[in-house]
Structure 1
Amino acid sequence: MADTALLVIDVQNIYELPDSPLCVPGFKQSLGRINRLVEGFEAAGEPVIYVRHVHRADGRDAGRMFDFSGAAEPVGFVDGSAEAEYVPGLRIVPDGLHMTKHRYSCFEGTELEAILRSLGVKTVAICGYMTNFCCETTARAAHDKDYFVNFIADATGAPDLGEEYRQSAIIQAVCATLGAGFARILTTEEYLQAMR
C-alpha cells in the first residue's frame, strides 16, 4: 500500500447526534472501522488526511449547497458549531494533516491535490461520511485526477433516505457504480489484511 493516503472524510458530530436529520445508523460501528484504518495507516507510516465540511454562518461560501433545488434552506456545518466538530471518538494521529472544504468533493477549492502531489501519493483510500455524497464525489474526482482509488465501503456511512431506501442499499448502489469504473471496493478487514 505504499504511496497511499487515507482520506478521513467528515467524521463530524452532525452524523452521530441522534436528533440530527443526518444521523447515520450504526455510527459507532462505522467509526470503529474508520479508527482501525487510521491505526493501520499510522503503523505503516502512511499519511492520514482529515477533512471537515464547514461553512460561514452567513453562507457566503456555500454556493448551491443549501439551495440546490431553488428553495433556500438554513446553512449547516457552520464553522465553530458543535455539529461541525470532529466526533470525540475519532482517532487523531499526531502527524495527521487537517483541512476543511465547502463542497462535497475534498478536491474542490482545497489544497488537497497539492498536498497529495507533495507527498508522492498515487492512491487514495476513502472512508467517512456520507457514502453517497462527499465520499462518492471525492472518489470520482480522485479518479478523474488519475489517482487510484480504494473505497472502504464498510468504513463509510449515510443516513437512510426514507423508509424505502436504507443505508445498506445506498452503500450497495454506490459501490456497484464506483466498482464498475472508478475504484476498488474493499472492506476494512480486506484492506487491513492487504496492508500487513
Structure 2
Amino acid sequence: MEAFTPLNGIWHVNPQKSALLVIDMQNDFVLHGYPMEVPMARRRIPRMQEVISECRAATIPVIYTEHILLDSFNVSPLESAYNPALLAAGMREGSFGSRVVDDLRPGPDDIVIRKHRYDAFHNTQLETVLATISGPRQVDTVIIVGTLTEVCCDSTARGAFMRDYKVAFVGDATGALSAEAQSATERNISAFFGRVLSTEELTAELRERREGRSG
C-alpha cells in the first residue's frame, strides 16, 4: 500500500490571510486545583505568549474562546453526562474560573467568543468574525493554540477544515491531559486536517513573510 503523505509542507502561513485562535485558556482549565485543571496547558503558557506576541507583531487578529456553562439550566447536557463533575462546577457564566488567565489576558482590540460546545464554530459568531475581521473573506488560515489539545482545539481545527480554512496547529502551544493524547492529536491533524508547527517554525514563517523572503 502506498504511504499516505501528511499535509505538512503544502503551504506556508501568510500573516495577511491569518487569524489566531486562543482556545479556552480559562482559569478553570489552567490554575492549580481548579475544576478542569490541565497541567500541560499551564506549562505551555510561555509558548502561547510567544505565539500571541508574534501574531500581534504581524498584525494578525487574535480571537479568544471561552467555554461557558450555565447554572440556570444544563446548556451542554451530553458534556456533563460524560463528565458529571460539570453539573456542580466549572466554567460557570460570569465566574472567575470562566475568564481567560491573566498571563494571556485579551487586549482591547481582541475578540472573545463564548461557546457551549467543543467546536468553537458551533452556534457562535466565529465564522462571521473570521469572514470580516480583515476585510470580506480575507482570512483563509487559522492558527490554533490553547487547550484541551484533544478536545476543543482538535474539534475547532476540524470545524475550520470543514469550512475550507487552512489550519496551523501549534503543537508546543497546545495542552492535553497526557503526552499520549497530545501525540495522537498531532498525528491526526498533520495527516488529515492541517499542519502541525512548533512555535519556532510558526515564528520563522511569519517573519519570512513580513520581511518579504517567502513567496
Compute the TM-score of the two structures, normalised by the length of structure 2. 0.81
Of the three residues 173, 185, 188, the one matched with 2:196 is: 185
Structure 1 position 30 matched with structure 2 position 41 = no
1:11-62 Cα deviation digits (max 9, x unpaired): 1011222223532224443111111111111111111001100121133422
Supply the AA of the counterpart residue of 1:180: A
Give SS of 2:39's match.
Answer: coil
Does the 8 Å CA contact 2:40/2:176 hold for their aligned counterparts?
A: no
Question: Residue 80 of structure 1 is aligned with which of 94, 112, 119?
Answer: 94
Q: CA, structure 1 residues 101+154, in 2 after alignment: closer, same or farther (shift >3 Å)?
A: same
| Structure 1 pair 156–59 and aligned structure 2 pair: CA distance change class (3 A) | farther
In the alignment of these two chains, the number of paired residues is: 188
Contact 1:4 1:123 in 2 (8 A): yes
How high is the sequence identity, in percent, across the aligned residues?
A: 36
Matched AA of 1:184: R
The more displaced of 89-98 and 3-12 is 89-98
- Output aligned runs, 1:154-173, within 5 Å: 154-159=172-177, 167-173=178-184
Question: Alignment partner for residue 112 of structure 2, among 95, 98, 104?
Answer: 98
Q: Distance in 1 between matches of 2:145 and 2:51?
A: 9
Aligned position for 2:212:
none
Q: Alpha carbons of 1:67 and 1:122: their partners in 2 closer, same or farther (altered >3 Å)?
A: same
Q: 1:129 to 1:72 in 2, by over 3 A?
A: closer
More helix by share: 2
Between the aligned partners of 1:138 and 1:193, the Cα distance in structure 2 is: 24
**Closer/same/farther in 2, CA of residues 72 and 16 from structure 1, 3 Å limit:** closer
* Structure 2 equivalent of residue 108 of structure 1: 122
Unaligned residue ranges in structure 1 (runs of 5+): 160-166
Q: Quick one: structure 1 residues 73 and 23, their matched pair in 2 at CA, closer, same or farther if it must change by over 3 Å?
A: closer
Deviation, 1:194, is 0.8
Greater Rg by CA: 2
Using structure 1 for the length normalisation, give the TM-score. 0.89
Task: Name segments (4+ residues, structure 1) moved above 3 Å.
Answer: 26-29
CA distance, structure 2, for counterparts of residue 72 and residue 8 of structure 1:
25
RMSD of Structure 2 on Structure 1 (CA):
1.8
On the 8 A contact 1:54/1:79 being kept in 2, the answer is yes
Compared with structure 1, are the counterparts of its residues 20 and 190 closer, same or farther at alpha carbon in structure 2 (3 Å cutoff)?
A: same
SS at match of 1:66: helix
Q: 8 Å contact 1:153–1:185 — kept in the other structure?
A: yes
Q: Answer yes or no: is the 8 Å Cα contact 2:66–2:113 preserved in 1.
A: yes
Structure 1 stretch displaced more, 102-111 or 26-35: 26-35
Q: 2:33 aligns with which of 19, 26, 33?
A: 19
> What letter corresponds to residue 3 of structure 1 in structure 2?
K
Partner residue, 1:163: none
Select 1:175's aligned residue among 175, 186, 189. Answer: 186
Q: Structure 2: which 5+ residue stretches go unaligned?
A: 1-13, 208-215
- Seen in structure 2, the aligned counterparts of structure 1 residues 115 and 154 have a Cα distance that, compared at 3 Å, is same
Mapped partners of 1:73, 1:24: distance in 2? 15
